[in-house]
Structure 1
């Protein structure tokens, strides 16, 4: 078990993260203090939550480009609900956010499942639609901090054992979905639907329905993240989290999730998100321009895709060799 982990993609990425932290600490030792690392993890938590949902979708040979728009729309909806009913308990707000996000995810899932529209086309369309709905319901206006209730803003910032509720939410999601993906039939269905759809169909798995469930989970996590995002930053507007879907896909790819489906782990998505999160937090500290920040992130994505492709080729060669 230990030998398998040492040679795994996750171990390689973990080593890269440790090396990155060591390089940063050589110039700015304060960056690796426990308090600052907790802040970095909190900043990265929304990316972790969305990356878990995206990983499940990609496992089924799909992709969800609407996660950031889902986050923004759900965040605007719960913000407006809070303004209209500030006495509403936070647990109710959280449940509304998860449910509303799940419904948006279901829209994607139904279009992919029942109408057989390519996922990239569906989610590109719904991404634009969701952003448009935000503008319609808000009339293009912002919901600002002074309009939100104190309880609404305080929940994700509350701390327990030195880490915020936002950070603990990401940890709980990692644990829950690690169990789902490795110990439960639903997780095996996701891997089967993307790894070999034809064999999955013969085994009695409804591939379309499995993809629908993947989009629903991704939407629910995006909805939860929507509330946590707007309450933490105490603002909601049309373009919130604009372009964030690209970071989500990048975190998955860097974490070893194959865009061809069937390959990936929750741990890999977590490490990919942490890698990007550390880069985004560290590069401004070392006074690197925004251009190079984007270039480094893009380079990491290209290298990750190349490694994934090389691994798939080696696997194919190995299978053919054994067949001979």
Structure 2
């Protein structure tokens, strides 16, 4: 990914080194849960569940206060590589989605804030920790990421490269797009009337749509600013492959349970991202197709 000379986003809230928020509930203080809980939370996240639900904090309560600075992205040093990748990626998503929203949806794009934190923090959706992995919180319209996840991508999941991390950020921004366009709310309402297996299948559709949106972004970002370098799309595909439900379940328990999938198989995730990248079609008709057929 071509980082040299590119601007970062001003919608970065860098909370690293500021202590983060406390874990409210349970023993009542951060760090009061053990390594066993953290491992379970990692497994819950990568198998498609919400670790905040596991902790009993899935979206309840009032939004946590958000501290904003006038230009937080300007504080990121050039040698803070992962932070630079995330900041530049977010800026590139802003350029692309501002343009698409105006041209295709006839409305302004509401840019999300991306929160960088270390070890622990609080979101309006509940407690955030490095164990939860990157996530989007619709209650405060913010993306949360502990940059140690980049090390996990490379070392644990065998998905190295700057564009592997960019794909993850673009996927979470995809969830923000879904929130703005009403898909998240539709799925949430539909899931409440379904069996667990059917509700999981709806979650898969939403996740694959976010992968598709990440692919759409990659195509437009390259057209508009020549962002990509040779091998970048392969890095994104490597990351999508590494975090497919089937692969994660096989690695963690030695077998797969398809009806429990909530993010999609490696093949599905790669196909969704690749389809978005090849077509660049962000129209409502293209996005609606993810919910119009049972053939995933």
TM-score computed with the length of structure 1 as normaliser: 0.29
Larger helix share, 1 or 2: 1
Larger radius of gyration: 1
Q: Which has the higher contact order (CA 8 A, sep 6+)?
A: 1
TM-score computed with the length of structure 2 as normaliser: 0.31
